[in-house]
Amino acid sequence: MAGERRGAVLELLRRPGNMRCADCGAPDPDWASYTLGVFICLSCSGIHRNIPQVSKVKSVRLDAWEEAQVEFMASHGNDAARATFESKVPSFYYRPTFSDCQVLREQWVRAKYERREFVHLEKQEPYSAGYREGFLWKRGRDNGQFLSRKFVLTEREGALKYFNRSDAKEPKAIMKIEHLNATFQPAKIGHPHGLQVTYLKDNSTRNIFVYHEDGKEIVDWFNALRAARFHYLQVAFPGASDADLVPKLSRNYLKEGYMEKTGPKQTEGFRKRWFTMDDRRLMYFKDPLDAFARGEVFIGSKESGYKVLDGLPPSTQGYHWPHGITIVTPDRKFLFTCETESDQREWVAAFQKVVDRPMLPQEYAVEAHFKHKP
Ligand SMILES: [Zn+2]
């Protein structure tokens, strides 16, 4: 009997909606929440275990199933759960996938089933009200210490601001929503809730690094920033659909890591730097947590004269790492070296992806800015 019941649950996994994890979209889930009626992956089952008051999990293959549990799974399933628990997810809200960090995935599960934020609209106020203020731990630019700072996000002013003292009248920085990006970087920042916020000042990238001890708070900040970007873009591009705008709300980097670089004359010795490929902007830093990039390179498309080559020109000297990359731009060549061959392959693939993509009209304007940079 037990074997038959397990067979019946396995059969349910073949229904189209159940072939991917209900929470992160990972293929072939083989765990289930038998109180919510969803099939989930092993990793998400660990998150469900933390909310036992709403979700109880068991393995489809390893655990025993009772008749009533099988019937419950059969009459619910991932499609039905989505129709209930995700009925009012705002378009700007970030839906994490299996490759996203733990805090994003955990808060998504808690928001859906524990807090039922996407059933009750009033619970979305922390990120949909157009205004948010609160304290975040912000990394000091010079000493690297995290200090509590007051942040204010106001869509009306189109800006995120922070203050060095809570009674200060003037903000320490005003970050325009137009150029703002936020991306979770737990490993780099050294905190599971670490968020990197970047903005442009005089067309140069500035970084700030923040976290909040409470996972809900930092994910609410992240979605509030996305909401602000969404509303900004809706005004800036009145004809655009939600599907056009949503991918522009925040960006993860195409690749980050150390490479060596040399200067424009290519006679200087190579130096190890931290590189970040953000869309078409290749930035390098002395330290991964620097507030400012040491330099930024615009990477255009092959149609406009950009190329990525394996290796270095034959006469190159002064490098320590053996795996070279040459980027050809209309103005000059940039030479890089990587420590391992797999690093080199990943960087070349990241650059190639950008070079292969035709440039958008507004990207020509960005390219022109780079050329006129002193
Ligand atoms: Zn999952």
Q: Which residues surround ligand 1, an ion (CB under 5 A)?
A: 21, 23-24, 26, 41, 44
Residues 287-332: tens digit of each pLDDT: 999 999 999 999 999 999 999 999 999 999 999 999 999 999 999 9
Work out the average pLDDT over 54-69: 95
Q: Is the pLDDT of residue 373 over 70?
A: no
Token pair of 358, please?
């035709």
Q: Which of 109, 108, 100 is nearest to 223 (CA)?
A: 108
Residues 192-234: tens digit of each pLDDT: 999 999 999 887 899 999 999 999 999 999 999 999 999 999 9
Q: What is the CATH number of domain 255-371?
A: 2.30.29.30
Ligand 1 center to residue 89 CA distance, Å? Answer: 18
Q: Residue 223 half-sphere exposure, CB side, CA atoms within 13 Å?
A: 25
Ligand 1 center to residue 113 CA distance, Å? Answer: 14
28 φ, ψ to 5°? 55, 60
Token pair of 336, please?
């890089």
Ligand 1 center to residue 26 CA distance, Å? Answer: 5
Q: Is the pLDDT of residue 3 over 80?
A: no
Ligand 1 center to residue 111 CA distance, Å? Answer: 15
Work out the average pLDDT over 128-140: 96
Q: Tell me which amino acid residue 160 is.
A: L
Work out the average pLDDT over 334-348: 97
Query: Which residues are within 8 A (CB) of 228 and not within 5 positions of it... i.e. 6 or more apart?
Result: 130, 153, 155, 158, 160, 177, 180
Decide if 94 contacts 223 (C-beta within 8 A): yes
Decide if 337 contacts 324 (C-beta within 8 A): yes
Ligand 1 center to residue 21 CA distance, Å? Answer: 5
Ligand 1 center to residue 53 CA distance, Å? Answer: 19
Encode burial over 49-80: b for 16+ CB neighbours within 10 A, e otherwise.
eebeebbebbebeeeebeeebbebbeebbbee
Query: Which residues are within 8 A (CB) of 166 and not within 5 positions of it... i.e. 6 or more apart?
Result: 135, 150
Which CATH number among 1.10.150.120, 2.30.29.30, 3.40.50.300, 1.10.3430.10 corresponds to the domain 127-248?
Answer: 2.30.29.30
pLDDT at 372 (0 to 100): 55
Ligand 1 center to residue 29 CA distance, Å? Answer: 7
Residues 158-183: tens digit of each pLDDT: 999 999 987 888 999 999 999 999 99
Ligand 1 center to residue 22 CA distance, Å? Answer: 7
Distance CA 207, CA 281 (A): 14
Report the CATH fold assignment for 2-121: Annexin V; domain 1 (1.10.220)
Q: Which long-range contacts (CB under 8 A, 24 or more apart) does 56-62 make?
A: 57/31, 57/32, 57/33, 58/31, 58/32, 58/34, 59/30, 59/31, 59/32, 60/6, 60/9, 60/10, 60/13, 60/30, 60/31, 60/32, 61/6, 61/10, 61/30
* Positive or negative torsion for Cα 90, 91, 92, 93: positive
In this prediction, residue 362 has a pLDDT band, given cuts at 50, 70 and 90, of confident
Ligand 1 center to residue 13 CA distance, Å? Answer: 14
Q: Assess: ipTM above 0.95.
A: yes
In this prediction, residue 274 has a pLDDT band, given cuts at 50, 70 and 90, of very high
- What residues are paired with 195 via a beta bridge? 184, 210
In the chain, % of residues over pLDDT 90: 87
| Same fold across 2-121 and 255-371 | no
Note the helical H segments in the chain: 2-12, 42-49, 67-75, 78-85, 102-109, 125-128, 186-189, 215-236, 242-245, 341-356, 361-371
Q: Where are the domains of the chain?
A: 2-121, 127-248, 255-371
Q: Is the pLDDT of residue 51 over 80?
A: yes
In this prediction, residue 32 has a pLDDT band, given cuts at 50, 70 and 90, of very high
First to last CA, the chain: 77
In this prediction, residue 374 has a pLDDT band, given cuts at 50, 70 and 90, of very low
Q: Tell me which amino acid residue 229 is.
A: R
Distance CA 84, CA 77 (A): 11
In the chain, % of residues over pLDDT 70: 98
Ligand 1 center to residue 211 CA distance, Å? Answer: 24
Ligand 1 center to residue 279 CA distance, Å? Answer: 27
Work out the average pLDDT over 136-155: 95
In this prediction, residue 142 has a pLDDT band, given cuts at 50, 70 and 90, of confident
Ligand 1 center to residue 122 CA distance, Å? Answer: 27
pLDDT at 1 (0 to 100): 61
